[in-house]
C-alpha cells in the first residue's frame, strides 16, 4: 500500500502592474470567478484570496491591485499598499507581465519583488494575442536577464494555455503544512463583498471610458427570504454628471447594469436574486480616508 502523501499548503501572491490579467489568471486557476475583470486598469482594488485544494495540496492565491506610480488620491495609495503587502509572508510570487511589453511600472513591481527576496516565477500572459510568435523566445531570453526568476512561464490565462504546467510548478514550492482552510472554501471574502464587486464590474465594463474610477458600491441589504436573495446596492459617484451617466436615458443604463449583475449573482450564489440599485453623489469619496474605510478600503485588512 502506497504511503500517504504529506499535506502541503502555502501562499502565492499574484502581482504585476495594472491590466496584465492577474484577476483573469486567478479565476481560471480556481475554475470559477471570484475576482472581477474588465479591460480597464485598476479594476481590482482589494486583496482577494482564492483557495485551490487538490488532494494533499492547498494553494492560497493572493490577488492584488496593480502597482502603479499614480498615488495622488487616497484610494490609489490604498491600492499600492494592498499590492505591496501581498509580497510579504508568502511562499512564492507570480509576477505577471503582458506579452512583450515592459514598462516603468513593470520595473517598479520587479524592484518590490527583488527586495522581498522571495522565489518568483515570471508569468508572461496573453501570448495567444501575439501576431508574430517568433518574437516570443528572444523576449523570454531578454526577460531572464532582468532578474533572478525561479522560472519563466508563457501562457494565456483566458485560453487556459499552459495553466496546468504553472500549477505543477507552484505545487513544487509549497512547504509541508496542514491546510489553512476547509477543503470546500474558495475565498476568504464574504458574499456581500462579492456582490458589491460584481456590480462594480458591470459599471466598469459598460461605462469604463466615461466613469473609469469614479464609482464605489456599498451593499445595504443582503437577506434571504423564501428561496430569494434580496440585495440592495448603493452606487456612489463623485459628481451629479456622473450620476446622470450611470442612470442613463430613462434609467436604461442602470437597468442594464442591474440585469447583468443579477445574472452573475444567481450563478455565483446558486439562487434567485432580487437586486435593487440606487445611485448617490458623495463628493470626494475616493480621497477621503473615513469614506474609504466605510466602503471597506481598510489598511487593517492588508
What are 244-258's pLDDT values in tens digits? 999 999 999 999 999
The pLDDT, as a whole number, for residue 165 is: 95
Task: Inform me whether the pLDDT recorded for 118 exceeds 50.
Answer: yes
Share of the chain above pLDDT 90, in %: 52
The pLDDT, as a whole number, for residue 154 is: 96
The pLDDT, as a whole number, for residue 238 is: 84
Task: Inform me whether the pLDDT recorded for 207 exceeds 70.
Answer: yes
Task: Inform me whether the pLDDT recorded for 209 exceeds 60.
Answer: yes
Structure-model confidence comparison of residues 49 and 82, the more confident one: 49
Mean predicted lDDT score pLDDT of the chain: 84
> In this predicted model, what pLDDT tens digit does every residue of 216-227 receive, in sequence order?
888 999 999 888
Task: Inform me whether the pLDDT recorded for 300 exceeds 50.
Answer: no
The pLDDT, as a whole number, for residue 34 is: 74
Structure-model confidence comparison of residues 288 and 205, the more confident one: 205
> In this predicted model, what pLDDT tens digit does every residue of 147-165 receive, in sequence order?
999 999 999 998 989 999 9
Task: Inform me whether the pLDDT recorded for 83 exceeds 60.
Answer: no
Structure-model confidence comparison of residues 298 and 120, the more confident one: 120
The pLDDT, as a whole number, for residue 200 is: 87
Distance CA 248, CA 251 (A): 5
Burial of 14 (0-12, 13-18, 19+ CB in 10 A): buried
Distance CA 10, CA 175 (A): 6
Task: Inform me whether the pLDDT recorded for 286 exceeds 80.
Answer: no
Task: Inform me whether the pLDDT recorded for 292 exceeds 50.
Answer: yes
Domains and CATH numbers, the chain: 8-171 (3.40.50.300), 191-301 (3.30.300.20)
Task: Inform me whether the pLDDT recorded for 1 exceeds 50.
Answer: no
The pLDDT, as a whole number, for residue 44 is: 47
Instruction: Give the predicted TM-score (pTM) of the model.
Output: 0.75
The pLDDT, as a whole number, for residue 283 is: 79
Structure-model confidence comparison of residues 66 and 135, the more confident one: 135
For residue 204, name the pLDDT band (cuts at 50, 70, 90): confident
Amino acid at each position: 500500500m502506497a504511503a500517504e502523501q504529506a499535506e502541503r499548503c502555502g501562499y502565492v501572491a499574484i502581482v504585476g502592474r495594472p491590466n496584465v490579467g492577474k484577476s483573469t489568471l486567478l479565476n481560471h486557476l480556481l475554475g470559477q470567478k471570484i475576482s472581477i475583470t474588465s479591460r480597464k486598469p485598476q479594476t481590482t482594488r482589494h486583496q482577494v484570496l482564492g483557495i485551490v485544494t487538490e488532494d494533499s495540496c492547498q494553494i492560497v492565491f493572493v490577488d492584488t491591485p496593480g502597482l502603479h506610480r499614480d498615488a495622488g488620491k487616497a484610494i490609489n495609495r490604498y491600492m499600492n499598499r494592498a499590492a505591496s503587502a501581498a509580497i510579504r509572508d508568502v511562499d512564492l510570487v507570480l509576477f505577471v507581465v503582458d506579452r512583450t511589453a515592459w514598462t516603468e511600472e513593470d520595473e517598479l513591481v520587479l524592484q518590490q519583488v527583488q527586495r522581498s527576496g522571495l522565489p518568483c516565477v515570471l508569468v508572461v500572459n496573453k501570448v495567444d494575442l501575439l501576431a508574430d510568435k517568433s518574437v516570443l523566445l528572444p523576449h523570454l531570453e531578454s526577460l531572464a536577464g532582468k532578474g533572478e526568476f525561479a522560472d519563466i512561464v508563457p501562457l494565456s490565462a483566458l485560453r487556459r494555455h499552459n495553466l496546468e504546467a504553472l500549477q505543477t510548478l507552484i505545487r513544487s514550492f509549497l512547504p509541508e503544512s496542514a491546510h489553512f482552510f476547509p477543503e470546500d472554501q474558495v475565498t476568504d471574502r464574504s458574499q456581500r463583498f462579492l456582490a458589491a464587486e460584481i456590480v462594480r464590474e458591470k459599471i466598469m465594463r459598460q461605462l469604463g471610458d466615461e466613469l473609469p474610477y469614479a464609482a464605489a458600491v456599498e451593499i445595504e441589504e443582503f437577506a434571504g427570504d423564501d428561496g430569494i436573495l434580496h440585495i440592495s446596492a448603493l452606487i456612489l459617484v463623485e459628481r451629479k454628471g456622473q450620476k446622470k451617466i450611470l442612470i442613463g436615458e430613462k434609467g436604461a443604463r442602470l437597468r442594464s447594469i442591474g440585469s447583468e449583475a443579477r445574472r452573475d449573482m444567481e450563478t455565483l450564489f446558486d439562487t434567485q436574486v432580487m437586486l435593487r440599485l440606487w445611485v448617490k453623489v458623495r463628493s470626494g469619496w475616493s480621497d477621503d480616508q473615513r469614506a474609504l474605510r466605510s466602503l471597506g478600503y481598510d489598511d487593517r485588512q492588508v
